[in-house]
Structure 1
Amino acid sequence: MAERLLCPPAPVGRLRIHVYAWYNPRPSLTEEDKMAASVVRSLGSSLGRNLREVRLHLCQTSAASKGVRDFVEQNYVTLKKANLDFPILIRECSGVQARLWVRYGLGKETSVLLDNMSADQVAKALQSLAESKP
């Protein structure tokens, strides 16, 4: 791994402190990942129109939750930046089925099972629930 200096060394007493970041290039995105990213970009700040909350339930280790974990890793920051005040909750629990819960106005909730789905399919499920009305 290569390292690069983030800022020049700052003198502290007789010691100099160096701040390093390890450069680890991300692997290139697959077509499926690119499709999920485009769905998330198209959602943009439209989550708050019909929805009041988004909750993702997933297992940290199961193969059935891999698509949901990939979706969170790749798209959570983008979604959160576009919807700063909107609650997007990630709930991890060992052995739980992967599920997407959305809450509409007046407390109505809907869920979709996400077991064995890819990151792209998770994004499409979120998009369909965000565009639907209760």
Structure 2
Amino acid sequence: MAWRGQLSRSMKELRILLCQTSPSSSSTRSFVERNYKELKTLNPKLPILIRECSGIEPQLWARYDMGVEKGIGLDGLNEAQITKALEDLVKAGEALKR
């Protein structure tokens, strides 16, 4: 998964929004617990923001150059699908640079 080290090259900021207790955010919480450390180690200067808010639907947001943002809803996705969504956001950032 070489793309994991490319986050800081394709985006300026990564935000993960989730609820601390809701079942719809359980996969997102698991994703953060299992992947945050590796993502931060591979991209030490990239702001990876975890935003917790009661009752919010889980979402993944990427901010690219020139203030362009793209978001993906994570409700109902499992960890593998969340990983794929993050990979898609990295690829979208690479496409914007061309």
Q: Please report the TM-score for the alignment, with normalisation by the length of structure 1.
A: 0.67
Q: Would you identify which runs of 4 or more consecutive aligned residues in structure 1 move more than 6 Å?
A: none
Partner of 2:51: 91
Greater relative contact order structure (CA < 8 Å, 6+ sep): 2
1:45 is displaced (CA, Å) by 1.7
Between the aligned partners of 1:44 and 1:111, the Cα distance in structure 2 is 18
Q: 5+ residue gaps in structure 1?
A: 1-40
Q: 5+ residue gaps in structure 2?
A: none
Secondary structure of 1:46's aligned partner: helix
When you count strand as a share of all residues, which structure comes out higher? Answer: 1
Paired-residue identity, %: 44
Q: Does 1:110 align with 2:70?
A: yes
Q: CA RMSD in A?
A: 1.0
Partner of 2:19: 59
* Structure whose CA Rg is larger: 1
Do the aligned partners of 2:8 and 2:45 also contact (CA within 8 Å) in 1? no
Q: Does 1:127 align with 2:87?
A: yes
Q: How many residues align?
A: 94
Between the aligned partners of 2:10 and 2:35, the Cα distance in structure 1 is 20
Q: Please report the TM-score for the alignment, with normalisation by the length of structure 2.
A: 0.91
Q: How does 1:14-29 map to 2 (within 5 A)?
A: none
Between the aligned partners of 2:28 and 2:80, the Cα distance in structure 1 is 9
Show CA shifts across 1:38-62 (max 9, x none).
Answer: xxx4323200222111000000111
Do the aligned partners of 1:55 and 1:100 also contact (CA within 8 Å) in 2? yes
Q: Does 1:71 align with 2:37?
A: no
When you count helix as a share of all residues, which structure comes out higher? Answer: 2
Between the aligned partners of 1:124 and 1:99, the Cα distance in structure 2 is 13
